[in-house]
Structure 1
């Protein structure tokens, strides 16, 4: 019996979630709809220009959101990350622990530095734009990998946001090798179209011959496979992933379970914030398949959970909301 359902690695960022107008993005030359890496000075400029009392702060990062979702649904999870010994780092670790997630750090063992932050800006059309200052998480490396916890997990889950850094790439490769050598399945998310667009060779190197389960959206799937249609992309993805999920936004999702394609219907909602929808989908899906449920049922749970995310601000559900979603679909 494995101790953890999923062992995750990824960036540790304190999410600062706020609403802005399209005019604000234009005024400050912010590229809409993408995740952009910025330095601390640039992020501070934007933070000062925003009315922060209307913002929401949570521990985040793409994989962290998914790992927390697994725990909220009743699964067991571990997150290897890197935060600093500062107020934001203390906040991050406390928030992670309060959500039932084990981790490699404590407030006492965290190194000196500046904890990373992600400014999540949502426009009235529910589009989310992220400006990220990585801080100390930019030095995430093999040192953060807990081999014992990884070996004692059913799945390894890696986020594509680690790909831009050489140390992050090395950590991903090591974690993948440990997993493969010890019968731990490997799941990965491309995270963002920009990661595939600008770091495709590095992404291909991490994926290697294959991964057990790949998460991506429609745009990422076509960028990675150099195709122009989702039908062509999904055929190409079979060559690099034993199983995969392509999220289609308001149109639901498409799952390849290794044999057949499964179409997952969307739950119709009035979307106000798409931030975290893909992270929630991956987390709910991983929870379900590591706890005895079929890929079809996992897709339904993930679709419902994601619909709840886009109908509120912020990338996570409250614990009670997660329990209600699970109760609605899974026995």
Structure 2
């Protein structure tokens, strides 16, 4: 087995978020299901961008957010994802490296522009996302850095990668390399609409052991098993995958295996400003704890802490040093 050079390697869509406040009427007028993630083309992106209110541009992308969050907790992290060599591509590359994440995927010199996600945030903090995948969907298996994968304790993949066919192959290639090196593979189900598109394929990934650890929220879990009953879905989840983390918003989170269920409460938040990145940062905290060898309950608490920090402000990357916060709360010595 090769030596460990990274704690967590994440692979996903390299996206710059444009985040703006909105109201329910705007969502209804544009036919957007609240809380959803919808894929749009470049023309739709331009139209919606023109109709949105003033926006804040912040580097995002689910797996990239997780890498940045885990790095803030002191983990050695890397990210693989594709941008175009344009203005937004330069912003993304700068931001992820500035967060302490190893990033070496070559930018495309032609083809579609760097991906962007137009995030509309309502007064209750709920985010509705419209994503133009652009260059991100051109990530291929050839761009999976085998040495990075072999040297990472956990390779974490986002469910959104299942949308572009070439990226799907990259996903499977990374999982195979990781397992050949005796490493762990994690998958986030990303959102309920993503699960709706690929339910049978995600279940197959779990049941055949392509992934070892699954992250999801209750909505995604219910979509996965096509049920309104969380308890029955949990029973099935425990049969289908070695381990899983299920987030439950203000009700905390669960870590489940075939043999046990561990729970932890949510961290209190004074005001929920923007839920963008909550799941990404929860995964960051849990993975940072797991690679430190911490017990599942503490890993869940680290996830809850990271999620609480990110939903207290606009944007999906931490604004405070999460390692300092974790130490202040007695979670890491």
Normalised-by-shorter TM-score class:
over 0.9
CA distance in 2, matches of 1:101, 1:197: 31
- For the Cα contact (< 8 Å) 2:206–2:212, is it kept in 1? no
What SS does structure 1 have at the residue aligned with 2:242? strand
Taking only aligned residues, the RMSD between alpha carbons, in angstroms, comes to 1.6
1:111 aligns with 2:112: no
The residue that corresponds to 2:10 in the other structure is: 8
CA distance in 2, matches of 1:244, 1:219: 15
Q: How does 1:31-46 map to 2 (within 5 A)?
A: 31-46=33-48
CA distance in 2, matches of 1:91, 1:272: 24
What SS does structure 1 have at the residue aligned with 2:82? coil
The residue that corresponds to 1:232 in the other structure is: 232
Q: CA deviation at 1:203?
A: 2.2
- For the Cα contact (< 8 Å) 1:70–1:284, is it kept in 2? yes
CA distance in 1, matches of 2:56, 2:69: 18
The gaps in structure 2 that reach 5 residues or longer are: none
Residues 163-197 of structure 1, C-alpha deviations (whole Å, 9 max, x = no match): 12221221111111111111010111000101111
CA distance in 1, matches of 2:321, 2:283: 19
1:315 aligns with 2:316: yes
Q: CA deviation at 1:16?
A: 0.9
- For the Cα contact (< 8 Å) 2:69–2:306, is it kept in 1? no
CA distance in 2, matches of 1:141, 1:159: 15
What SS does structure 2 have at the residue aligned with 1:30? coil
The residue that corresponds to 1:29 in the other structure is: 31
The residue that corresponds to 1:271 in the other structure is: 272
Q: How does 1:163-242 map to 2 (within 5 A)?
A: 163-210=162-209, 211-242=211-242
- For the Cα contact (< 8 Å) 2:125–2:273, is it kept in 1? yes
What SS does structure 2 have at the residue aligned with 1:238? helix
The residue that corresponds to 2:49 in the other structure is: 47
Q: How many residues align?
A: 327
Q: CA deviation at 1:65?
A: 0.4
- For the Cα contact (< 8 Å) 2:80–2:104, is it kept in 1? yes
Give TM-score, length-normalised by structure 2: 0.94
The gaps in structure 1 that reach 5 residues or longer are: none
